[in-house]
Amino acid sequence: MTEREFEAKLAELDRLLNDPEIRMDPEHVWALLAEISTQEPRVLAEA
């Protein structure tokens, strides 16, 4: 998964969890979490 895809999945997850106008779909949330959790943690570079 590219960094762009990873960020898109995080944004989608954030929207699903925090946008009151979007119906909660637990299966989709768990699927996104499963995909995200398979990625290696990224080390944030210090500025």
Per-residue model confidence (pLDDT) at position 44: 46
Q: At 2, is the pLDDT very low, low, confident or very high (cuts 50, 70, 90)? A: confident
Q: Are 22 and 15 in contact (CB under 8 A)?
A: yes
Per-residue model confidence (pLDDT) at position 24: 86
3-state secondary structure at position 2: coil
Q: What DSSP letter does each residue of 20-44 carry, written as one string?
A: TTSPP-HHHHHHHHHHHHTSPPPPP
Residue that wins the pLDDT comparison between 46 and 11: 11
Q: Tens digits of per-residue pLDDT, 18-31?
A: 999 999 899 999 99
| pTM of the predicted structure, to 2 decimals | 0.74
d(CA 17, CA 25): 9
Phi first, then psi: give them for residue 45, nearest 5 degrees.
Answer: -75, 140
